[in-house]
Amino acid sequence: MKTLSIISLLIFLTFSGFSQKIPAYYSVGTKSGTIKSVKDDIKTKLKAGGFKILGGYYPEGRTNNYVLVYTNSKIQVIGYSLKNYAIFASALRVALIKNSNGVEITFLNPEYFFRGYYMSSYNVIKSKLSPIETKVKNIFKSYGELKPFGGSVSAGNLKKYHYMVGMPYYNEPVLLKEFDSFDKAVSTIKTNLAAKKGGCRLVYKLIYTKSKKAVFGVGLLDKSKGESHFLPIIGRKNIAALPYEIAVIGNKAYILHGRFRFAFYWPNLTMGTFTKIMSTPGDVEDMMKGLTK
């Protein structure tokens, strides 16, 4: 009987982990003021909490929506020291959406982000990540109650997330180009971003020369194929999904596959809506490849 009870407990713990729903985003309500005033206040609180502001921009070029990107030293160390593609998980985002009542504050849930991007490694380094997750939530709790939105995914499914059978996983990124060296890859991408090639704009960059890893946050401001095309279709509420990233690992440049990334950040996306942006993953890949030429 005792053995049976232990087995039952193990089964419960296993399946409760898979059924635990993790929200992709939180909203903390609307704060009076302008995008600038709210942005400046958030910057102050993040800095006081030990975070570093990496950059920000207006998705689609619309001045009533803004995304602020931030990180801290622990997130960065994990990103460049873990193997494979952890460098993509080097920055968090908060979004500001101007409406008639003020500015709504939404942010990417760090736990959702970390679980999806670190996959099975999440539980191994959970002791390092949990304090970061708690700190972020506490900072934004100062603005109001945390209300989940934008969809959720079970903890068990996040570590091997894909939209449906046949769709790519996080650890199956798109190889854009292999360069002669890490330095050549970084300099090429920096030059093309400075020239705003293909409507791409630099939002932030993190470059780790010793580990030969780098990540660039890229605003996709091409009017016909970028954010102005896909955001009105899949929803502007989830703009804390942006900017899109391009990573350099060794001498190779990668992006996450669009059919993974859009599904991951818009987990409520129906197949009917997804088909309306069927060309977008390919368009994004083309724009990012342009940055490597």
Q: How confident is the model at residue 20 (pLDDT cuts 50, 70, 90)?
A: confident
**What does the pLDDT look like over 51-103, one tens digit per residue?**
999 999 999 999 999 999 999 999 999 999 988 899 999 999 999 999 999 99
Each residue's pLDDT tens digit, 156-168: 999 999 887 778 9
More confident residue, 176 or 12: 176
- Range of the structural domain that residue 44 is part of: 22-290
What's residue 149's pLDDT?
93
Domain membership flag for residue 103: yes
Q: What's the pLDDT score for residue 230?
A: 97
**Using one digit for the tens of pLDDT, what is the confidence trace for 116-174?**
999 999 999 999 999 999 999 999 999 999 999 999 999 999 999 988 777 899 999 99
- Domain membership of residue 14 (yes or no) is no
Residue 19 has a pLDDT of 60
How much is the mean pLDDT over the chain? Answer: 93
253 pLDDT exceeds 50? yes
User: What pLDDT score does 70 carry?
Assistant: 98
Residue 228: inside a domain, yes or no? yes
Per the domain annotation, does 11 fall within a domain? no
Q: Tell me the average pLDDT across 176-195.
A: 98
- Confidence category of residue 208, pLDDT binned at 50, 70, 90: very high
Q: Is residue 7 part of a domain?
A: no
How far is Cα 104 from Cα 160, in angstroms, rounded to an integer?
31
* Cα separation, 193 vs 202, whole angstroms: 6
CATH value at residue 126: 3.30.310.70
**Whether pLDDT at 284 is above 70:** yes
- The overall pTM is greater than 0.85: yes
pLDDT-based confidence at 206, cuts 50/70/90?
very high
Return the structure tokens found at 291: 């940055």
The predicted model gives 35-62 an average pLDDT of 98
What is the count of structural domains for the chain? 1
Q: Residue 9: is its pLDDT beyond 80?
A: no
Question: What's the pLDDT band for 187 if we cut at 50, 70, 90?
Answer: very high
Whether residue 234 lies inside any domain: the answer is yes
φ, ψ (nearest 5 deg) of residue 49: -90, 5
Spatial distance between the Cα atoms of 267 and 109, rounded to a whole number of angstroms: 13
Residue 37 lies inside a defined structural domain of this protein: yes
Whether 12 is covered by a domain: the verdict is: no
| Percent over 90 (pLDDT), the chain | 88
